[in-house]
Amino acid sequence: MTTAGTPIPTAAGARPVVGHLLPLLRDPLGFLTSLPEQGDVVRVRLGPTDVVVLCDPHLMHEVLRNDRVFDKGGQLFDRYRESLGDGLGTCPHSRHRRQRRLVQPAFHPDRMPGYTEIIAAQTATQVAAWRDGQVIDVMAETTALAARNVAAALFSDALSPTARTRIAKDLATIMAGIFRRMLTPPPLDRL
């Protein structure tokens, strides 16, 4: 564990100018899962920007629970907000309570069983499509599953299954684009 005053190690494999952008964009899951071998707290270079990645679950828990000390901010969150706005997942602590109250009705305990049914059905459908011995792209499959869960929860029976499938694919494409935009330095937006 890194303590105050201890230098944070930089992840191996940084390239001049781009840092770790290329391996992160090529294989996000592979890159991120390689970081715990390098320490509980690791510095990653995204172009000219340094990002600190927590690889220890207890440290992550502390950061997520103590938002007064560890506020959401910095260049990555600024870039994320440009695409998705100032929602619950991206807003700083000063606006969190207001945003939380806006979405809280959707997370009332009475609504949870409905979400559970949707998630279970979507997961069963996805797993049924896999074959024994089939190699799957875990990142792509979980991203697609999350997008289908969101589409089904938001639109339930209001749209046909075909329309929900199209929305889920579009959501996955949008999220991939937002991820790339977060990692791209702002001057490259004009290219």
* Model confidence, pTM: 0.62
What mean pLDDT, rounded, does the chain reach? 86
Residue 98 has pLDDT above 70, yes or no: yes
With pLDDT > 90 as the criterion, what percentage of the chain qualifies? Answer: 34
Dihedral of the alpha carbons of 123, 127, 128, 133, in degrees to the nearest 10:
180
**Mean of the pLDDT values across residues 170-187?**
80
Q: How far apart are CA 45 and CA 24, in angstroms?
A: 10
Taking only the tens place, the pLDDT of each residue in 4-41 is: 678 999 999 999 988 999 998 889 889 999 999 999 99
Q: Write down the pLDDT at residue 116.
A: 93
Q: How confident is the model at residue 190 (pLDDT cuts 50, 70, 90)?
A: confident
Q: Would you give the distance in Å from CA 13 to the centre of its chain?
A: 23
Q: Where are the alpha helices (DSSP H) in 35-110?
A: 57-65, 75-84, 93-103
Q: Write down the pLDDT at residue 3.
A: 59
Q: How confident is the model at residue 84 (pLDDT cuts 50, 70, 90)?
A: confident
CB contact at 8 A, 41 and 52: yes
What's the token pair of residue 142?
Answer: 């979980």
Q: How far apart are CA 89 and CA 77, in angstroms?
A: 9
CB contact at 8 A, 33 and 18: no
Q: Write down the pLDDT at residue 33.
A: 95
Q: Write down the pLDDT at residue 4.
A: 65
Q: Write down the pLDDT at residue 133.
A: 94
Domain boundaries, the chain: 9-70, 71-107, 108-185
CB contact at 8 A, 15 and 45: no
Residue 48, classed as helix, strand or coil, is: coil
